């Protein structure tokens, strides 16, 4: 089934698209429509919702690919794995090389603040950046499946064009969040840092038909801190937020602090 990608390369960039809401999500359709005029496009997306799977990679079971569409300049596959699995399969099985651009989303729901840590959409973006591929994740701050993606698409187009024409710094990828507003009410783009935040969570404790407890996670997000330079602040004030992120998790100031500690006892 899977020959390496058959496109002639010519001058058009090879653009890879994935998400974590799955192959049927309207946000994926919207993002695919944005990039198709810009290059040759391959989509590999999970065959079911994979929100909250973060950077999980499938190692204990085999992966499957199902080719859904093949047209000039466009191929689309579903995969039984995670978003990160989709990226790895793109590199090694479907494309046979790294794409020129990786875009992920448009996510149904915010990936601002600490939500980036749980996000499969943004994990795919990190996986792109780790291979040196210019990579951008897009999220609309609205979880509904029938949300209006028109403003998000407008801004995704602008940002993708800019990234194609300029070079992202080494190891840096972008976390873009779009407020749930018509394009006329969005004030522009803000470059931001990741806001502090937390999930105020609890578990529903329920009983199954045999009387045994089971637990279901529920919660609401709460911002921590009030910096005007954060993604949360930008979104609340009707701006699109772009947070440049990287995958070096080292806390450099803490290195000096810990070097003074005595670990010998």
Q: Which of residues 10-69 bind its own copies (CB under 8 A)?
A: 49, 51-60, 62-65
Please select the residue that binds its own copies; options are 172, 181, 221, 236, rule is CB under 8 A.
Answer: 172
Q: In sequence order, which residues have a C-beta less than 8 Å from that of residue 17 and are 6 or more positions away? A: 28, 31, 32, 35, 41, 42, 43, 44, 45, 102, 103, 104
In the bound state with its own copies, the residue whose beta carbon lies nearer, of 71 and 257, is: 257
Distance (Å, whole) CA 247 – CA 188: 27
Options 5, 68, 130, 164; binder of its own copies; rule CB under 8 A: 130
Residues 184-203 that bind its own copies (CB under 8 A): 189, 191-194, 198, 201-203
Binding of its own copies by 123 (CB under 8 A): yes
Stretch that binds its own copies, among 27-35, 37-45, 70-78, 86-94 (CB under 8 A): 86-94
Tell me the number of residues near its own copies by CB under 8 A.
80
Kindly state the smallest distance separating residue 21's Cβ from its own copies, in Å. Answer: 12
Question: Which residues 206-245 are close enough to bind its own copies by CB under 8 A?
Answer: 206, 212-217, 242-245
Residue 97 engages its own copies in binding (rule: CB under 8 A): no
Nearest Cα to 128, choosing from 77, 75, 87? 87
Helix (H) or strand (E) segment spanning residue 232: helix 231-236
What is the full DSSP assignment across 125-160? Answer: HHHHHHTT--EEEEEES---TT---HHHHHHHHHHH
The verdict on 70 binding its own copies (CB under 8 A) reads: no
Report if residue 158 touches its own copies, rule: CB under 8 A: yes
Give dist(CA 111, CA 123) in Å, integer.
11
Contacts of 158 (CB under 8 A, 6+ apart): 189
Residue 10 CB, nearest approach to its own copies (Å): 23
- 3 is a site residue for its own copies (CB under 8 A): no
């Amino acid at each position: 089934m899977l020959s390496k990608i058959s496109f002639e390369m010519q001058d058009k960039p090879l653009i890879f698209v994935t998400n974590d809401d799955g192959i049927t999500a309207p946000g994926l359709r919207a993002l695919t429509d944005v990039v198709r005029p810009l290059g040759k496009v391959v989509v590999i997306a999970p065959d079911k919702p994979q929100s909250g799977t973060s950077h999980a990679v499938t190692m204990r079971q085999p992966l499957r690919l199902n080719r859904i569409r093949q047209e000039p300049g466009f191929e689309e596959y579903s995969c039984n794995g995670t978003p990160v699995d989709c990226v790895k399969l793109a590199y090694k099985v479907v494309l046979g090389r790294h794409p020129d651009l990786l875009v992920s989303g448009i996510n149904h729901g915010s990936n601002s603040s600490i939500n980036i840590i749980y996000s499969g959409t943004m994990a795919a973006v990190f996986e792109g950046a780790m291979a040196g591929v210019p990579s951008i994740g897009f999220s609309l701050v609205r979880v509904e499946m029938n949300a209006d993606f028109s403003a998000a698409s407008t801004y995704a187009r602008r940002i993708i064009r800019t990234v194609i024409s300029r070079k992202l710094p080494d190891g840096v990828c972008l976390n873009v969040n779009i407020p749930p507003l018509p394009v006329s009410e969005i004030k522009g783009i803000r470059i931001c840092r990741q806001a502090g935040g937390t999930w105020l969570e609890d578990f529903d404790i329920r009983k199954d038909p045999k009387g045994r407890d089971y637990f279901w996670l529920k919660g609401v997000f709460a911002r921590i801190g009030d910096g005007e330079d954060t993604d949360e602040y930008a979104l609340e004030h009707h701006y699109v937020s772009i947070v440049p992120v990287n995958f070096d998790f080292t806390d450099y100031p803490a290195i000096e602090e810990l070097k003074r500690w005595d670990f010998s006892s």
